Amino acid sequence: MESTPKTIAKGLTHTNCVTIAIAAPTTPVREKWTSNIEFTLSCIAYSVGFGNIWMFPYTALDNGGGAFLIPYLVVLFVIGRPLYYLEMAMGQFCSRGCVKIYDMAPAMRGVGIGQTVAMVVAMSYYTPVLAITLRYLVLSFSSELPWSKCDHSWSRCIDSDFRGYANTTGSLSEDRRNVSAELYFTHTIMHRAPLADGLGWPDGELVLCLLVSWLILVVILIKGVRSTGKAAYFLAIFPYVIIFILLAHSLSLEGSLEGIKFFLTPKWESLFSGKVWMEAVTQCFFSLSICFGGIIAYSSFNNFSNNVYRDAMIISWLDTFTSIIVGCIVFGVLGNLAHVTHRNSIQDIVREGPGLTFMAYPDAIAKFEYFPQLFSVLFFLMFFIVGIGSNLGAITSVITAIHDRCPTIPNWKIVICVSVSMFGAGVIYLAPCGLDLLDVMDTYGAKYVTLTLALFEIVTFAWIYGADRVCRDIKFMLQIETGLFWRVCWGFLAPGMVAVILVLSFVEYVPLNVPSQYNVAGWILYTFAILQLPLWAVYAVMTQDEKDFRTKLRAAFQPTKTWGPENEATRDQYNQLKCTRSRFRAATPARHRIRRLCNKIFD
């Protein structure tokens, strides 16, 4: 028996059991998930990742623990979950990646291009963090944790396995002594140096760990979503086994409840802080991995009738649950660290992002009375596994964008090219000044770009394409009526809150503590990503077939002729329903401008 053809050709005729093919361009069939559970688990592995384990605990700590939790939960409910559902539904509806999905409004294709730029930036520093994690994981198998004792070359150092507080001679900064876990990270692992001295040469062992990390990613990605889906069973489920083991151990530590109390106790005055709300929105995007293109890419490989509403609710609630559980683990350990070192404030323990994962937590583990190596292995193994899941989603988003543009290129070639390029870029972050450069790229190339483009993405979906049209598409696809809550969030609350927070982020902008040229380079990167909006809008207008400029402009903001479901028969049915509705609306036009705008959301 012949294998099923891998392409669909227009003009096929079936007569007397003979298929006659009329010459026509062929379109490769889009890969599909083997089962819905593989899609769900892949999204869990992607969304429940670095954003929850690496960024959330530090962001909560930096913004006062419980002071941050309330704004974060509000933002998740009003912005995070609605956008997650929106991206997942529209990606499945049209079976397009984060760039091709803007066939709904070609003038806005720059949003997808800019998000791909942001994803490439994030992907460039995700894998170096993964490499550092792998290095710590290997070191955790030592008979004695190497960061638990001071090296003889380190001055003013105290062993991390010392269960006490040595800074008792005075309050002056020169009396402060550093723990060995911190010095081990800065001197032995990263060989930290000021960015003003230049990047320097990367550590060879870290480069080897980066190579191993990329080889693992390539093996999983090489066969597309089929291999990614199989890996998701392990990547999504096993971390929760470790998480609950670490939670049980964290709760058993002395002083842990004080740390968890600090994390869960709300501070209502924080609701009036613009900085906390901005951090909450940024963390929401990184935690759920929305507005980067990964969710759209993953859902584009779904079957058309898959119940994406159910999946979106399960994953978004699980993501929130995971963030809170991981917060309890980390703050429980920090509470124990504050207890054994006789510190009054948990916030005094660590003050920088990477420090929470690679300084404070190793320092706390070194103080465990029983089996510190075991808990070090469990923590860094969990961190490595969720890092693999996060990277898979990020890389898949970029690969899908390229494959949508060049569908005839085999998937494995795109995977190899992207992996080699990103490996070369990732080596830079493993240099002595790499973490300072990471901070620059994360701030300008990821956070600011994502926040800006998120606003334009919401406006495109809810106002240019129309939230009501989105709801009709969802009903056509799933036979589900979309409630008022989702319409109000998509049309008003989400764009309003993102716009306000975006303005506040620029008003309260403070340059990073790096040489000025790096801040300038960061703004150039931001400008490059945002310039994709007007450049692609001009291109879309100029390439329209209409002759009149006003007609060209209007057509550039309308869906293309090929917009709709991937299957041609389903798309024909969709177009017939659309034409029927267009005739009805033409017979009963909305004369008032405000009424026409409201029809975008509620009609």
State CA 553 to chain mean position distance.
Answer: 33
Question: Contact at 8 Å (CB) between 289 and 393?
Answer: yes
Q: Cβ atoms within 10 A of the Cβ of 468, count? A: 19
Question: Contact at 8 Å (CB) between 151 and 157?
Answer: yes
Q: Is 29 one of the annotated binding-site residues? A: no
Q: Is 48 one of the annotated binding-site residues? A: yes
Question: Contact at 8 Å (CB) between 27 and 12?
Answer: no
Count helices and strands in the chain by DSSP H and E runs? 26, 6
CA pair distance 351, 171, nearest whole angstrom: 18
CA pair distance 583, 590, nearest whole angstrom: 13
Q: Which residue has the tokens 């799933």?
A: 478
- Kind plus residue range of the DSSP H or E element containing 13: strand 12-15
Q: Parallel, antiparallel, or unpaired for β 7-9 and 178-179?
A: unpaired
Question: Contact at 8 Å (CB) between 419 and 217?
Answer: yes
Amino acid at 312: A
CA pair distance 514, 521, nearest whole angstrom: 11
Q: Which residues contact 300 (CB under 8 A, 6 or more apart)?
A: 30, 91, 92, 94, 95, 96, 97, 101, 400
Angle between helices 256-264 and 308-340 (to 10 degrees): 130
CA pair distance 325, 150, nearest whole angstrom: 32
Instruction: State phi, psi for 199 to the nearest 5 degrees.
Output: -70, -40
CA pair distance 485, 464, nearest whole angstrom: 20
Q: Is 35 one of the annotated binding-site residues? A: no
Q: Parallel, antiparallel, or unpaired for β 12-15 and 18-21?
A: antiparallel
Q: Which residue has the tokens 């390229």?
A: 402
| Tokens encoding 386 | 């969720």
Q: Which of 474, 342, 471, 446 is nearest to 390 (CA)?
A: 446
Amino acid at 391: N
CA pair distance 70, 388, nearest whole angstrom: 29
Q: What angle do CA 373, 375, 381 make, to 5 degrees?
A: 100
Q: Which residue has the tokens 């090296």?
A: 151
CA pair distance 390, 46, nearest whole angstrom: 4
Q: Parallel, antiparallel, or unpaired for β 157-158 and 178-179?
A: parallel
Q: Is 276 one of the annotated binding-site residues? A: no
CA pair distance 449, 454, nearest whole angstrom: 8
Residue numbering of the annotated binding site for Na(+) = 48, 52, 287, 390
Residue numbering of the annotated binding site = 48, 52, 287, 390
